[in-house]
Amino acid sequence: MICEICGKTIQGKVFNIRVEGASVKVCDKCSRFGTDRQSWSKFGKGAMGSDGVVLPSRSRTGIAPKSKEDYTLVEDYHLVIKDAREAKGWSQKDLARKMNEKESIIHHIETEGFALSNELIMKLEKVLNIKLKE
């Protein structure tokens, strides 16, 4: 049999070790480069407690905080955004640059042809200093 690390023919005992997650068969000299098969854990490091007992997952109880999805957009949000942009004297290109977004996205938002993500809502509220969520 050939050692999978050094490539030499194995004389004597073959060691089955783990090197960077891969199981390899190696000679005596190369066996120090990995962990021995007896020390392999069936479970990941975080799954066992200090006494070797597998810990159950914690259940969540109590009242959940209001999530971002619980908010609704103000009616005619596209007009609110357009009016705020024009009040600052910015073009769609200027607003896009300040938000680090494409100009076409700003155009689609203002023509009500784009679904707003929470991230985009927060950017618009911050840059234009407006409130879009109710």
C-beta atoms surrounding 99 within 10 Å: 16
Q: What is the pTM of this model?
A: 0.48
* Domain annotation covers residue 30: yes
* Domain annotation covers residue 58: no
* CA distances from residue 38 to 15, 35, 123 in whole angstroms, order as listed: 11, 8, 53
**CATH code for the domain of 122:** 1.10.260.40
Instruction: Please check whether residues 79 and 29 belong to one and the same domain.
Output: no
- Give the pLDDT confidence of 58-101 residue by residue, as tens digits: 555 544 444 555 668 888 889 999 999 999 999 999 999 999 99
- Give the pLDDT confidence of 3-31 residue by residue, as tens digits: 998 999 988 888 888 888 888 999 988 88
* Domain annotation covers residue 47: no
Domain enclosing residue 30, as ranges? 1-39
Tokens of 17: 């070790």
Instruction: Please check whether residues 73 and 119 belong to one and the same domain.
Output: yes
